[in-house]
A and B are shown apart, each in its own frame.
Chain A
Amino acid sequence: MSIAARRIGDVILKLDNISLAFGGVKALTDISFDVLEHEVRAIIGPNGAGKSSMLNVINGVYHPQHGTIAFHGEVRRTMDTYTAATHGIARTFQNIALFRGMSVLDNIMTGRILKMKANFVEQAIWFGRARREELENRRKVEEVIDFLEIQHIRKTPVGRLPYGLQKRVELARALAAEPSMLLLDEPMAGMNVEEKQDMCRFVLDVNDQYGTTIVLIEHDMGVVMDISDRVVVLDYGRKIGDGTPDEIRNNKAVIDAYLGVAH
């Protein structure tokens, strides 16, 4: 699938001069990059490079000390998590953050919460809008379940599922929100080869069918080079590379960071 076929659009997210420190530890230093609408943008880097911190800045878990975040042209000093959700940013977490006591179906239904408008009283008496919305959203959730091929575990409490499936359910919950941008923090970590292939297919299908912009962190270089349109490389909290997979492959600084330099 070529970039042109997916009609890459304008800049949807632009980060400028982001610096984030925890006490004396500098997690991110002066990082700027942008994300175009409908593209798959990867963030890579060795362990501790600041990849997850970057994602946490975008969705407002962390508030950087410097820099600005512009989403859909609206410039902010910092994002906050709830605002990010209401503006169409959904995400998955590195250490799966599902609601463990709830079933797969209920977990995915929480992804629809922002789409449901019935007020407290209507819900209390299970009347009119509350009832209609519940059914509509349930239908939407079933679409997501079909899409990710998890029909058979619909009623299972997520705590009982194997790791790979939990990751898939977390993706389903994010997709249920019909986000315009999806942040994936190591969606394929700890998976075997087949599970990784499935996950790659899902990510590309989401991007292709719904036009969702995807920002992902991944360690598997093969995967990253295959599925992303552009790649940002971080090392020790600094940006050391930014470009298409081919450009990154031939970038001297990136090769040094990954393979080490002779001293």
Chain B
Amino acid sequence: MSFFFEVLIGGLLSGVMYSLVALGFVLIYKASGVFNFAQGAMVFFAALTCVSLLELGFNFWLAFALTLAAMVALGLLTERFVLRPLVNQPQITLFMATIGLTFVIEGLAQMFWGSQPHNLDLGIQDEPLAWIAQTTGMNVSKFDLVAAGIAAALVASLALFFSRTRIGRALRAVADDHQAALAVGIPLQQIWGIVWAVAGFVALVAGLLWGARNGVQFALTFLALKALPVLILGGFESIPGAIIGGLIIGASEKLAEVYLGPFVGGGIEGWFPYVLALLFLLVRPEGLFGEKHIDRV
């Protein structure tokens, strides 16, 4: 039984990290109704910038602050030069624009910092916590635990921010109806700027945690794809949904790998979440916490 819990806990902890990536999508989707395909590229850009600054000998917090500034600038520029000219265009146009943006950001990252993989050491060891191992016999990674803690704190504070404050409310209003939002005096551009900047910040934290775990390399951009099943489960518009969705995906993929894997030859961790997401689409297409839109005839 303790083996089951060990797998479950490991899954939940990596699930929190998925939530973190999914969160970046949710933020932008809520504010502009766009699936921001470039989120993965932003994660990569942030991680690569930060690790490169560290290698140039900057102190960690200074590198963090500089990268954050770069991400905020990137977000504001995106709002100004990509989104603003496309106001009131169909969603598919905006989606295509974010695909284009993906390649631009990837290109920029490699132009500035080259395409070498880097190691990132945040000073947190990836080793089992001794006291847990002694008391329960389970191996729980210290790194996973700290990373999950950071991610959980970030997710929780953003959820509060968006449900309790003026900017949060404005954000949800903008997502619902641009015209009405303008009519009550919500500055559309300012809200979009803020959202892209916050999404950049989330991308930075996600990039550092994932980068420290898997190395800072081009493959980080594909994290975006891992967020898809999380979003389908949780709902594209819901911050709590991103958390729960991440936990379910993380736990189920690890459990499936360990308990179902041996019967089908293993390696199901990679695709199991997508199967789960597909099944979920059949039952509840708006996701666990998505907004159900009722259309009157």
For residue A109, CB closer than 8 A to chain B, the reply is yes
The prevalent SS among residues of A at the interface is: helix
Within 8 Å by CB of A81, from B164, B182, B293, lies B182
For residue B180, CB closer than 8 A to chain A, the reply is yes
Q: Provide the residues of chain B in CB contact with A212, threshold 8 Å.
A: none
Within 8 Å by CB of A113, from B157, B166, B194, B293, lies B166
Q: Provide the residues of chain A in CB contact with B183, threshold 8 Å.
A: 59, 61, 81, 84-85, 90-91, 93, 97
Q: Once the chains bind, are B237 and A61 in contact (CB under 8 Å)?
A: no
For residue B165, CB closer than 8 A to chain A, the reply is yes
Classify chain A: how many residues form its interface, as a range: 35 or more
Q: How far is the CA of A129 from the CA of B182 in the complex (A)?
A: 24
Given A111-B184, A173-B184, are A97 and B179 neighbors across the interface (CB < 8 Å)? yes
Q: Once the chains bind, are B169 and A160 in contact (CB under 8 Å)?
A: no
For residue A118, CB closer than 8 A to chain B, the reply is yes
Q: Provide the residues of chain B in CB contact with A114, threshold 8 Å.
A: 184-185
Within 8 Å by CB of B169, from A61, A98, A109, A133, lies A109
For residue B186, CB closer than 8 A to chain A, the reply is yes
Q: Once the chains bind, are A123 and B185 in contact (CB under 8 Å)?
A: no
Q: Provide the residues of chain A in CB contact with B160, threshold 8 Å.
A: 126
> Per-residue 0/1 for A108-137: is the Cβ within 8 Å of any B Cβ (1 yes, 0 no)?
011111101010100110100010011000
Q: Provide the residues of chain B in CB contact with A177, threshold 8 Å.
A: 184-185
Q: Provide the residues of chain B in CB contact with A61, threshold 8 Å.
A: 179, 183
Least CB distance from B210 to A in Å reads 24
Q: Once the chains bind, are A110 and B164 in contact (CB under 8 Å)?
A: no
Given A90-B184, A110-B169, are A102 and B176 neighbors across the interface (CB < 8 Å)? yes
Q: How far is the CA of A112 from the CA of B161 in the complex (A)?
A: 17
Q: Once the chains bind, are A99 and B170 in contact (CB under 8 Å)?
A: no
Given A101-B291, A120-B194, are A130 and B165 neighbors across the interface (CB < 8 Å)? yes
Among A85, A90, A93, find the residue whose CB has the most chain B CB atoms closer than 10 A: A85
> Per-residue 0/1 for A94-107: is the Cβ within 8 Å of any B Cβ (1 yes, 0 no)?
00011111100011
Q: Once the chains bind, are A123 and B165 in contact (CB under 8 Å)?
A: yes
- Supply 10 further A-B pairs (C-beta < 8 A) apart from A124-B157, A126-B164, A159-B294: A90-B184, A98-B177, A102-B169, A107-B173, A110-B169, A112-B166, A113-B169, A123-B161, A123-B168, A133-B166
Task: Please list the residues of chain A having a beta carbon within 8 angstroms of any beta carbon in chain B.
Answer: 59, 61, 81-82, 84-86, 90-91, 93, 97-102, 106-107, 109-114, 116, 118, 120, 123-124, 126, 130, 133-134, 159-160, 173-174, 177
